[in-house]
Amino acid sequence: MTESSRTRTKIAAFLAILTLSALIMVWLFWRFPVITAVATVAILLALGVSARLARLIDTDLTEMQRDKQGV
């Protein structure tokens, strides 16, 4: 019983945070459209670059581990 209520509480909190975030973003876009659009594109570009860097680093580490095991 307590586990299901905890799960429901976590889901409700997640949905509340998601809704609040979406409302803030819509308000910012309505109030400051150009600045919000530029900031959004910059953040998405930063996330894309960091994802590519993480993939490159992960590939290098797995290759190094394979080399150590082969020796």
pLDDT band at residue 61 under the 50/70/90 scheme: low
Per-domain residue ranges of the chain: 1-31, 33-71
Of the pLDDT bands very low, low, confident and very high (cuts 50, 70, 90), residue 43 is very high
Residue 56, pLDDT > 60, answer: yes
CA–CA distance, 16 with 1 (Å, rounded to integer): 23
| pTM greater than the 0.75 cutoff | no
DSSP conformation letters of 11-61:
HHHHHHHHHHHHHHHHHHHHHSHHHHHHHHHHHHHHHHHHHHHHHHHHHHH
Per-residue pLDDT, 47:
97
